[in-house]
Structure 1
Amino acid sequence: MLEIKDVSVRYGVIEAIKRVSFEVNEGEIVTLIGANGAGKTTILKTISGLLRSSNGSITFKGRNITKADARTIVKAGISHVPEGRHVFGGMSVKENLDMGAFLRKDSKAIEEDLDRIFRSFPVLKERLNQDAATLSGGEQQMLAMGRSLLSSPDLILLDEPSMGLAPLFIQEIFNIIEEVNKRGTTVLLVEQNANVALEIADRGYVFETGKIVAAGTGKELLASDEVQKAYLGG
């Protein structure tokens, strides 16, 4: 579904991503793990059109999207839940959700998707008219995910969905990620909580200073002594 080939990204003179190549197949959960500053967030922003690569190519469902803008990429079927959630304060939960569907015209299908989101995140239905800024961190994460799913994506990019959340919320969020995947949405996940991420992942890639240094199935990476010592507290 998604192919990243020899992609490099620069911030001025600093090369944050160095000729990275990887792929995400349809129906998979693929996770990117690594230390802070390793380039994981940068690669998600580049896929979603928020940053430009200095070389290489990004192909989605056979279409080259390397130079496409963010609106075009959302329309093509990629949705991005950014690090830090970024809900719209001063707007209600319902208004935030509506923003996720801004490119869609199929009102009946939108209502059906909204019903599914409320089944996954019942608290959002309870808080529909509440200012999004007044939600807890976990509730804001649910809102950010719900908003993203309302674009009806084929591929969802999730950046640190468990950041700052209580353990109870973390497990709930990961259960929902698996549920979303089972319904047919492919997932590319960046996550500091590497143990939990690799447990649900079909495959994973380990980033280090802008490069991929290891790859394998979730189980293989969980069992790797090097990965255990460096990222899993083993």
Structure 2
Amino acid sequence: MTDALNVDHITKVFGGLTAVDDVSLHVGEKELVALTAPKIVAAGVSQVPEGRRIFAGMTVKENLQLGAYLRKYKDGVEKDMEAMFKRFPILKERQKQDAATLSGGEQQMLAMARALVARPKLLLLDEPSMGLAPIYIQEIFDIIKSINKEGMTVLLIEQNARQALSIANRGYVLASGEVKMTGSGQDLLNDPAVQKAYLGG
């Protein structure tokens, strides 16, 4: 299997706190890999999720158009935007609305749609469930799963370990900035140590 992403021995320190310590991981083409890292969030390291960086003052449709800005060939952009409206019907309803007025879940859907319009080879989702109302969380994970089943390679960084591992082909469990466990999503989900530490089991 060809790797879409390879990370070798990465260390990142934020003001004396080691968030990532000598981490190596890989994401194969068409895989959905989960990286569950609740200890980093609990230690005070937080990041505004990439998925929430919508452009306020611009409509939903304009945000989607920006997703295709760097596409070399512009033919097919309208078709892809229509496909996003089909996948995310609420965005079609609100396409003329200022993106800043969307709910958190709707903003997450817009950010995902905007990323997909760019036709990426690898979709990186950073904490897509963070701050979402429960009504949206399952919907977002169902969408991620379907995107992957259609052939998109996904690296999902998510502290909701149960949800992430339930849809992942493989997972990495980070603790204190280090990879503590790796395995198939189902194996990690069923592992007693993972259940005790991350799933409240």
TM-score normalised by the chain length of structure 1? 0.78
Which residue of the partner structure matches residue 61 of structure 1? Answer: none
Residue in 2 aligned with 1:139? Answer: 106
Q: Does 1:126 align with 2:93?
A: yes
Post-superposition offset of 1:84: 6.1
Q: Is the contact between residue 80 and residue 117 of structure 2 (CA under 8 Å) also seen in structure 1? A: yes
Cα distance in 1 for partners of 2:169, 2:70 equals: 31
Contact 2:18 2:176 in 1 (8 A): no
SS at match of 2:35: strand
Alignment of 1:28-177 (within 5 A): 28-37=31-40, 82-83=49-50, 85-177=52-144
Deviations 1:27-83 (A, max 9, x none): 1100011224269xx9xx9xxxxxxxxxxxxxxxxxxxxxxxxxxxxxxxxxxx935
* CA distances 1:116-172 after superposition (whole Å, capped 9, x unpaired): 111110111111110001011111110010111111101000011111222221111
- Pick closer, same or farther for the CA change 1:91–1:174 going to 2, 3 Å: same
Greater alpha carbon shift after TM alignment, 178-187 vs 123-132:
178-187
Length, aligned pairs only: 195
Q: What is aligned with 1:217?
A: 184
Assess, with a 3 A threshold, how the Cα gap between structure 1 residues 176 and 205 changes in structure 2: closer, same or farther.
Answer: same
CA distance in structure 2 between the aligned counterparts of 1:88 and 1:4, rounded to whole angstroms: 30
Shift of 1:231: 0.5
Partner of 2:11: 8
Offset at residue 100 of structure 1 (A): 1.0
| Structure 2 Cα separation of the partners of residues 87 and 108 of structure 1 | 24
Normalising to structure 2: TM-score of the pair?
A: 0.90
Aligned-pair RMSD on alpha carbons?
A: 2.0
Q: Distance in 1 between matches of 2:190 and 2:17?
A: 33
Q: Tell me if the contact between 2:170 and 2:183 (Cα under 8 Å) persists in the aligned partners.
A: yes
Is the CA contact 1:160–1:191 (under 8 Å) kept in the aligned structure 2? yes
Q: Identity of counterpart residues, as a percentage? A: 55
What is the alpha-carbon distance in structure 1 between the residues aligned to residue 150 and residue 106 of structure 2?
22
- Measured in 2, the distance between the counterparts of 1:226 and 1:157 equals 27
Question: Matched residue of 1:116: which SS?
Answer: helix
Give the aligned partner of residue 166 of structure 2. Answer: 199
User: Do 1:38 and 1:207's aligned partners in 2 also have CA atoms closer than 8 Å?
Assistant: no
Q: Structure 1: any 5+ residue segments left out of the alignment?
A: 46-80
How far residue 16 of structure 1 moved from its aligned partner, in angstroms, is 2.5
